[in-house]
Amino acid sequence: MSDSDERFEFAGDAADREYGSVALVAGCIVAVILATTLIPAAASVGLGGAPAESLIPVPPGADQRSGGGNSGGGFGTGDGFGALNLGNRTSVGGSLGESDGNPFRSQNTEVHFQVRSEESGYWRTGAYDTYTGDGWSQSGTSDATAPVEGRQVRYRVDLARPTTSAPAVWRPLRVDGPDSLELTDGGLARADEPLPEGTSYVGVSRKPPRDPEMLRATGRDYPDAIERRYTKLPPSSAVSLRPFTNNVTEGADTPYETAVRIEEWLEANKEYSLNVSQPSGDHVAREFVTQMDAGYCEYFATAMTAMLRSQEIPARYVVGYSTGQQVGANTFQVRAMNAHAWVEVYFEGVGWVRFDPTPGTERLQQEEQSYEESGEPGEYSPQEEGSPGETFSPDPGRNNGTATATPADPGGDDRTVVTPQPTPNTPGGEDDTPVPSDPADPSMSDIEVTLNRTAVPGAVVEVSVTVGAQPIVGALVEFDGEPIGRTDRGGTVAGRVPYTENLSVNVIVGRTVDSEAPSGAALSMAEPLSLPPPDADSLVARAQPDNTTRSFDVSTEATLSVSGDVATGETALVTATVDGVPVENARVTLDGEPVARTDDGGQARVRLPGSPGNVTLGVDRDPVAGSQTLRLAGLTVSAEPIWPLPVAGTPVEVSARLGNDSVAGAPVRIGGERVGETGVDGTLRTRLPLESAVPIAVETDGQTARTTVSNPIANAAGVVVAALAVLVGAAVTVGRRSLRPRSLVRSLAVPLRTAGRLAVRAFVGAAIAAAARIERTLDHLAALVSGERSPAELVRAFRSWVAAWAARLRRPVDRRTPSNGRGTPADGDGSGSAEDDAAHVTIREAWGRFLGTVSVNRPWTKTPGQLADHAVSADGLPADAVATLRDEFRAVEYGPRSPDDSAPAVEAAIDRIERAIEPAESSGDAADAADGEGDASAADGDAERGAD
């Protein structure tokens, strides 16, 4: 092939490759156009139940930055601190707010906030209504409906970390704190800007009723808006969860029973573990229920919420913190590891009630272990209330489980089967002849009549009529003679139990036996017929009605549940039930007096008496009756002064209590003027006014308690008099001693300076002694190393040293004179020689003689230097002799000099001092004698003048 041909072929190949690249680029452009056109349309309708937007890669966090009511997305929006900073969306199982992982998996023991509260609770920070398959989001303001309000609780929160989602007890009524903190319409405490650590606020909430009996009596008549919003599920989740949950909750008649069944199944079949991997799919609840063996709070709460919604029961996903650690009276410390998720279930006529499906004991044991490993002081042993009727702690022995529901279960052990002897009867009395027995025609004694639950007045029960294993179709069933209907193809019929002590169930069966009917076919029911003509050949047997009667005991003991504040003057909600069935139209009595009647839900509102004491609440509708005794606590108030005595103008602490419980938010009045209200712990600190007697009153729940603080003015006057007496006494003392203020200051300064000098000398002496001891010890060790001394010799030397010190400590010391610098006691009983002791005594005697010559009162309060200065300047003693005596005395008593070396100089000095004062004493004696003679002659002259 020529070169030109080769170049032509190469050019052709290049052109082909260029055309292919152009075609590839064009195809990519077309694909992008189709994707941008079709995917948004598909997202609006969904593809197979999965969000179509999931097909497009999204940068991390982009889904949380777009849309929604909050600018932030997931937990913390990057700020951390567990569940204190929430967004409007959250995933389940992923990283939700802390840089080191999911806050619900965190076992960090750092304190997030502290609560002082009248009682414990779960500290709620957020709620989510829309299940997305892999997480939750908020579609709008949370519902805060509360048809029934429970007990009021007050609490104070002190933040230890910044927050925008402030913890509160459900359901909050108000929060008092920084201006930026507000309560939303959905019952969430929110701040526009992060509240800094150290911020405090006070909340007031109404906790919903949690009595299992009250909840068991509720039905399914939910508000339309709540049912639409809080029962939604993605179609694929609903399809997969509904059949499974149907099996778990089979036979549960009420929403409460359904919730209990789901919670018990989760706790029994799923383990608690923080070491789980995030589900790979987009349906967390389905995967956790059907595939995973373990999880933590997010998984349990998500699964229970979705399972409840599959049963058309409104439920929502809630986050916040569990109770935390109680560190004092009414004080709870809540840490990062207490971040938690749970479920709120809506009950007809009650509102949102907390359920916690996470295994509580296992969770608290994990927290306890983390607390111990962190090295935090003290023990971690909380006790929490999860679902209604449930408490748990790290110690399984202290727990009680969720109140067990009593669901109707046709195939379980709860069914009641009674098969007494039949009572044949023919309606109208036309024919009382028993049906003859026939092997092919079962006798009425073979019929079984069963109920699917315990007979309770007002309950709808299902009656099953069977013979052998076959249902009887079309049988007429009567309750106490009143027909309730005919059995269906399954041999069942439902009816409401009347108010009676014994239920009589009468079953009437009219049999027509077809000669061509197959063996074992269900018996058919016809209207009662007369006997057919003798020549009829279509029947081989007669047709006539037969009946059987069964009796069932009926429960008639009513249970009363009281919700709200059980206190004087308050209105409480009373719910009357029998085995979970409301007692309708029953009379409610208070101490025997009728006060109300129950409605269709067995409820009635009753205003409690205004005076404290025990009251009996009763309900009756013959033959149903029940009663409960309520204790209405009395209000008491006390006032304790902060000072030992109540003094006008000083603080006093006012405490209010209802029985054994502190009263928060009670107004306090002093002398009729309101001065504040009690705090969370039921106390208020205020000041006593200037009055002779201070009346203090506290009001709450229609009660007023009073106390009086006596004699605050008299006590104040006594304090003033005592203070004046002290001042006068001090002035008199100063006056008697002729001390001027300046000299008083100087006299006080002298002992202070002396004490300082002695302290310095003691420190220096101790340091010198320690250095000497260290030097001697090093010498001993060096001798041991060199072999000059044996270990035994060192031990003996050490024992001798210890014995010598012990002897010195046991030796009595004369505290009137100081010891010398070597630690020798003043009495001379040291370990030195007899000559040394004698010289020491000589020096001290000389110093004592010197003190006798000095004109100073209480010389023991002066230093040797001060005494020497006074002797020279005031007494005129020879300066050189006084200086020698002073220096030698100091060197022996406070220094290392030997008494033998100083004794001669001391003796010479004291001799000179004493010789110096002898002439003065002699001249003084002569002057005294002359004065005496003059006085005598003067006396004689006076006598003579008196004689004249």
> In order along the chain (948 residues), what is the average pLDDT of each group of 10 residues?
44 47 56 46 36 35 33 38 84 55 87 94 96 94 90 95 96 94 94 94 94 93 96 94 96 94 97 89 92 95 98 98 93 96 96 97 95 91 93 81 45 35 36 36 71 93 91 94 94 96 91 39 37 35 63 95 91 93 96 95 94 95 96 95 90 93 93 92 92 93 93 87 84 64 63 75 72 76 77 75 62 40 40 59 83 80 84 87 86 75 86 79 51 44 41
Distances (CA, A) of 442 to 127, 353, 423, 550: 61, 53, 15, 18
Residues 143/128, Cβ–Cβ less than 8 Å: no
Given a contact cutoff of 8 angstroms between Cβ atoms, the answer to whether 587 and 621 are in contact is yes
Q: How far apart are CA 560 and CA 578, in angstroms?
A: 9
**Distance in angstroms (rounded) separating the CA atoms of residues 915 and 902:** 20
Burial class (CB in 10 A: 0-12, 13-18, 19+), 389: middle
How far apart CA 449 and CA 417 sit, in angstroms, is 7
> Helix or strand or coil: residue 672?
coil
Pairing type for strands 271-272 and 294-295 reads parallel
User: How many angstroms from the chain centroid is the CA of residue 401?
Assistant: 20
The one-character DSSP state at 224 is H
Q: Look at residue 178 in the predicted model and tell me its pLDDT.
A: 94
Burial (0-12, 13-18, 19+ Cβ within 10 Å), 712: buried
**pLDDT for res 743:** 61
Residue 354 burial by Cβ neighbours in a 10 Å radius (0-12, 13-18, 19+): buried
CA proximity to 157, closest of 205, 225, 193: 205
Among 196, 157, 162, which Cα is nearest to 334's? Answer: 157
Quick one: DSSP state of residue 514? -
Measured at the CA of 667, the angle between CA 685 and CA 172, to 5 degrees, comes to: 100
Do 888 and 868 touch, CB atoms closer than 8 A? no
Q: What is the pLDDT of residue 82?
A: 67
Measured between alpha carbons, how far is 609 from 450 in angstroms, rounded to an integer?
Answer: 46
Q: Collapsing DSSP states into helix, strand and coil, what is residue 677?
A: strand
Q: What does the CA dihedral 870, 871, 874, 876 come to, rounded to 10 degrees?
A: -150
Distance CA 203, CA 153 (A): 8
Sorted by sequence, the CB contacts under 8 Å of residue 805 that are 6+ apart come out as none
Q: Which of 277, 152, 247, 258 is nearest to 204 (CA)?
A: 152
Output the CA torsion sign for 298, 299, 300, 302.
positive
Closest CA to 663 of 685, 683, 649: 683
- Residues 682, 655 contacting (CB under 8 angstroms): yes
Kindly give, in sequence order, each residue whose CB lies less than 8 Å from that of residue 839, ignoring residues fewer than 6 positions away: 898, 899, 900, 902, 903
Distances (CA, A) of 714 to 340, 484, 686, 745, 899: 57, 84, 19, 35, 66
Q: Which residues pair with 354 in a beta bridge?
A: 344
**pLDDT given for residue 560 in this prediction:** 95
DSSP string, 141-198: SPP---SS---EEEEEEEESS-EEEE-B-SSEEEEES-TTEEE-TTS-EEEEEEEPTT
Q: CA-to-CA distance for 500 and 485, rounded, in angstroms?
A: 20
